[in-house]
Amino acid sequence: MSTMHANKIFNPAGDDTIASRTIIKGDTTGLFNLNAVKYQWAKSLYQVMIGNFWVPEKVSGLKDDARMFQSDLSPEEQKAYKGILSFLTFLDSIQTVNLPHFNDYITSPEVNLILSIQAYQEAIHSQSYATILETVVDSKEREEIYYFWRTDKILLERNKYIGQIYQDFLDTPTDANFFRGIVANYLLESLYFYNGFAFFDTLVDQSKMQATGRMIAYIRRDELTHVTIFANIIREIKNEFPDIYDEKVIRSMMRTAVKQEIEWSTHILGDRIPGINGETTRAYTQWLANQRLEMLNIAPLYPDAIDNPYKHLDRLQDTNSDKGNFFETTVVNYTQSSSMNGSWDF
C-alpha cells in the first residue's frame, strides 16, 4: 500500500482544473479557487454550516439547570450527565486537533474549506461543554469529569480505540491507514455521540435540564453536517479510488463501534434512567448503525433493527423549530445532490 503525502503549501506546478481535481492525491497549487467547484455537495454544506453559526454564550437558562441538577436529577441521572459530558468532551477535543491533519491530504479546496469550518465548530462544542460544566457542576468535580477516563476502564478503552486509529495514520500515512482514519471520523460523527444526545433529549422530554438540551440541539445540528461531509468523502473515494475503498473495513469498524457504543452506554446509563434501558440502547444503536450504512449505500448489519425505539425524539423540536428528523433528512439529501446553483453567499 502506497504512502500518502501531505499537500504542499504552495505548488506552482500544480493543476487546479476541475478535470484533474480529485478528493485525495490531487496535484493542487494550494490556491483556494472557490469559483471552480467540482464537489457541489461541499458548496451546499458550506451554506448550511455558515447558516448554523452559534456560540454557547447565547444559550440562556443554564443557571436553572444548575438548580435542577441538584434538586431534580436522581444520583443515577447525575452520574450519567457527568459521564456523558466527559466522553463528548473527549470526542470534540480529539476532532478539533485531528481534523487539520486529515485535511492536509484532501486535494479539493471546497472540501478543505468545510473541513476547516468543521474544526472550528468542534472547538465551539468543546467550549460549550466547558460552559455547561462551569455553570451546572460543582467546581470540585470538573477535573474529575474531564479526566474520568483515568478511573473508568471502559471509557479509557473507547478513547484509546479512536485515538489510536488517528495516531496510526499520523505515524504511518499509508492509503490503508488514511481510509481507516476517514471511516473512524465517520463513525465518531455518526454513531458515537448519539446515545449521549438521546440521554439529554430524554431529560428534556421529561422537562428536565432544558438549557443543556438546547445546547445539545445546536451541537447535534452541527454534527449532522459533519456526518454528511464524511459520508461524501467516503463516497468520492469509492468512485475515484476503488483500490483504496474497502467495504469490509467499513462494516468491520462499524460492528466494533456498535459493540463499544452499546457497552459504554449500558455502563453509564444502564437501566437506571427513566425511558432508557439496556434493550433500548442496543436497539437504538443498531438501528442508527443501519441508517449510517445506508448513507454509504451499504446493506444493514442488523436486519432486525428497523425501528427507532426512542419515539420521543420525533416529538422534540430542534433549535430552528424544525423536526430533528426532518433536518437530518434534509442534510443527508445533500449527499445525493449534484447541482446547487448560485454563489457561495446567501
Kindly tell me if the per-residue pLDDT of 344 is higher than 70. no
Q: Enter the C-alpha cell of residue 58.
A: 447565547
What count of other Cβ atoms lies within 10 Å of the Cβ of residue 331? Answer: 21
Helix (H, G, I), strand (E, B) or coil at 253: helix
| CA angle at 176 for the pair 174 and 180, rounded to the nearest 5° | 115
Return the pLDDT at 242. Answer: 98
CATH architecture of 18-336: Orthogonal Bundle (1.10)
Residue 41 and residue 44: Cα distance in Å, rounded? 5
Return the pLDDT at 332. Answer: 43
pLDDT digits (tens, 9 = 90+) for 76-91: 999 999 999 999 999 9
Q: Where are the alpha helices (DSSP H) in 40-174?
A: 40-51, 62-71, 75-103, 109-136, 139-146, 153-171
Residue 168 and residue 156: Cα distance in Å, rounded? 18
Phi-psi category of residue 297: left, alpha or beta, with phi > 0 → left and psi -120 to 50 → alpha: left
Please give the average per-residue pLDDT across 38-52, as a whole number: 95
Q: What string of H, E and C letters represents the secondary structure of 189-230? A: HHHHCHHHHHHHHHHHHCCCCHHHHHHHHHHHHHHHHHHHHH
Residue 43 and residue 265: Cα distance in Å, rounded? 36
The answer to whether residues 1 and 175 touch, using CB atoms and an 8 Å cutoff, is: yes
Please give the average per-residue pLDDT across 127-154, as a whole number: 94
Please give the average per-residue pLDDT across 194-218, as a whole number: 95
Kindly tell me if the per-residue pLDDT of 119 is higher than 80. yes
Catalytic member of 81, 105, 129, 310: 129
Q: Enter the C-alpha cell of residue 81.
A: 450527565
Q: Percentage of the chain surpassing pLDDT 90?
A: 86
Return the pLDDT at 311. Answer: 87
Q: Enter the C-alpha cell of residue 186.
A: 465517520
**Residue 129 appears among annotated catalytic residues:** yes
| CA angle at 30 for the pair 28 and 31, rounded to the nearest 5° | 105
Return the pLDDT at 316. Answer: 66
H helix or E strand, kind and range, residue 290:
helix 278-295
pLDDT digits (tens, 9 = 90+) for 160-194: 999 999 999 999 999 999 999 999 999 999 999 99
pLDDT digits (tens, 9 = 90+) for 46-56: 999 999 999 99
Helix (H, G, I), strand (E, B) or coil at 134: helix
Given pLDDT bands bounded at 50, 70 and 90, which one contains residue 1? Answer: low
pLDDT digits (tens, 9 = 90+) for 258-313: 999 999 999 999 888 999 999 999 999 999 999 999 999 999 999 999 999 998 87
Residue 277 and residue 271: Cα distance in Å, rounded? 4
Kindly tell me if the per-residue pLDDT of 345 is higher than 70. no
Return the pLDDT at 339. Answer: 34
Return the pLDDT at 334. Answer: 39
Q: Enter the C-alpha cell of residue 132.
A: 455547561
Please give the average per-residue pLDDT across 233-247, as a whole number: 98
Return the pLDDT at 320. Answer: 42
